[in-house]
Amino acid sequence: MMMYIILLVVLLILSSLFSSMETAYTSLTPGQINALAEKGKRPGRLVRKLTEQPHILLTTLLIGNNLANLGASALTTAMTMKLFGEPYIAATTGVLTLLVLIFCEVSPKQIALTANETLCLRSAQTILILSWLLRPVIWIITAISRTLTYLAVGRTKRVLSREVLLHHVKAAGHEGVVKSYEEEMIRNVFRISGIPVKAIMTHRTELFTVTNETPVRKALEYLLKSRHSRMPVIKSGTEHVCGVISLVDIAAALEENADSPVEQYAASPCLVPGSMKVHELFLKFRNEPIHLAIILDEYGGLNGIVTREDIMEEIFGNLYDERDNLFPEEICADGNGGWIAQGTADFYTISDKLGVNLEHDSNIHTLGGYLLEKLGHIPEPGTAIDLPEGCYVILNTHKKRILTVRFVPKEDKSKF
Q: Could you tell me which residues are beta bridge partners of residue 8?
A: none
In what order do the strands lie in the sheet containing 241-246?
Answer: 210-211, 230-234, 241-246
Q: Which helix (H) or strand (E) holds 271?
A: strand 270-273
Contacts (Cβ under 8 Å, ≥6 apart) of 357: 351, 389
Instruction: Over range 349-365, report the average pLDDT.
Output: 71
Q: Judge whether 294 and 272 are in contact, CB under 8 Å.
A: yes
> How do the residues of the chain divide into helix, strand and coil, expressed in percent and rounded to 5?
60, 15, 25
Q: Which helix (H) or strand (E) holds 304?
A: strand 302-307
- Tell me which of 355 and 127 has the higher pLDDT: 127
Of how many residues is the chain composed? 416
C-alpha R_g of the chain: 36
Q: What pLDDT, on a 0 to 100 scale, did the predictor assign at position 409?
A: 85
Q: How would you class 160 by CB atoms within 10 Å of its CB: exposed for 0-12, middle for 13-18, buried for 19 or more?
A: exposed
> Can you identify the CATH homologous superfamily of domain 197-316?
CBS-domain (3.10.580.10)
Q: What is the pLDDT of residue 307?
A: 92
pLDDT at 228: 83
Query: In terms of C-beta distances under 8 Å and separation of at least 24 residues, what long-range contacts does 234-242 make, across chains too?
Result: 234/209, 234/210, 234/302, 235/211, 236/211, 236/212, 238/301, 239/204, 239/301, 239/302, 240/300, 240/301, 240/302, 241/269, 241/271, 241/294, 241/302, 242/212, 242/266, 242/269
What confidence tier does 294 reach under pLDDT thresholds 50, 70, 90? Answer: very high
Question: Which amino acid, 219?
Answer: A
Other C-beta atoms closer than 10 Å to the C-beta of 168 total 16
Element spanning 38, H or E: helix 30-38
pLDDT grade for 160, boundaries at 50, 70 and 90:
low
Q: What is the pLDDT of residue 344?
A: 77
Beta carbons of 406 and 392 less than 8 angstroms apart: yes
Please check the confidence at residue 107 and state whether its pLDDT lies above 90: yes
Residue 97 to residue 276: CA distance in whole angstroms: 62
Model pLDDT, residue 153: 76
pLDDT band at residue 292 under the 50/70/90 scheme:
very high
Name the percent of the chain lying above pLDDT 90: 31
DSSP letter string, 358-398? ----TT--BHHHHHHHHH-SPPPTT-EEEETTEEEEEEEEE
**pTM of the complete model:** 0.54
pLDDT band at 268 (very low <50, low <70, confident <90, very high): very high
Mean of the per-residue pLDDT values of the chain: 85
| pLDDT score for 66 | 93
pLDDT of residue 327: 47
Strands 270-273 and 292-296 turn out to be: parallel
Q: Is the pLDDT of residue 233 over 80?
A: yes
For the segment 162-213, what is each residue's pLDDT rounded down to a tens digit? 788 888 888 888 888 888 888 888 888 988 888 899 988 888 877 888 899 9
| DSSP three-state, residue 406 | strand
- Are the CB atoms for 78 and 92 separated by under 8 Å? no
- DSSP secondary structure letters along 174-242: HTTSS-HHHHHHHHHHHHGGGSBGGGTSEEGGG---EETTSBHHHHHHHHHHHT-SEEEEEPTTSS-EE
Question: So what's the pLDDT on residue 90?
Answer: 87
CA 5 to chain centre: 56
CA distance 316 to 287: 20
Does the structure show a pLDDT above 60 at 296? yes
Confidence of residue 414 (pLDDT cuts 50, 70, 90): very low
268 or 359, which is more confident? 268
Q: Which residues contact 185 (CB under 8 A, 6 or more apart)?
A: 315, 316
CA 396/CA 174 separation, integer angstroms: 37
Mean pLDDT of 325-349: 74
The CATH T-level fold of domain 331-415 is 3.30.465
Domain ranges for the chain, please list them: 2-153, 162-194, 197-316, 331-415
DSSP H or E segment with residue 13:
helix 2-26
Residue 416's pLDDT is 39
Q: Is the predicted pLDDT of residue 3 greater than 90, yes or no?
A: no
224, pLDDT greater than 50: yes
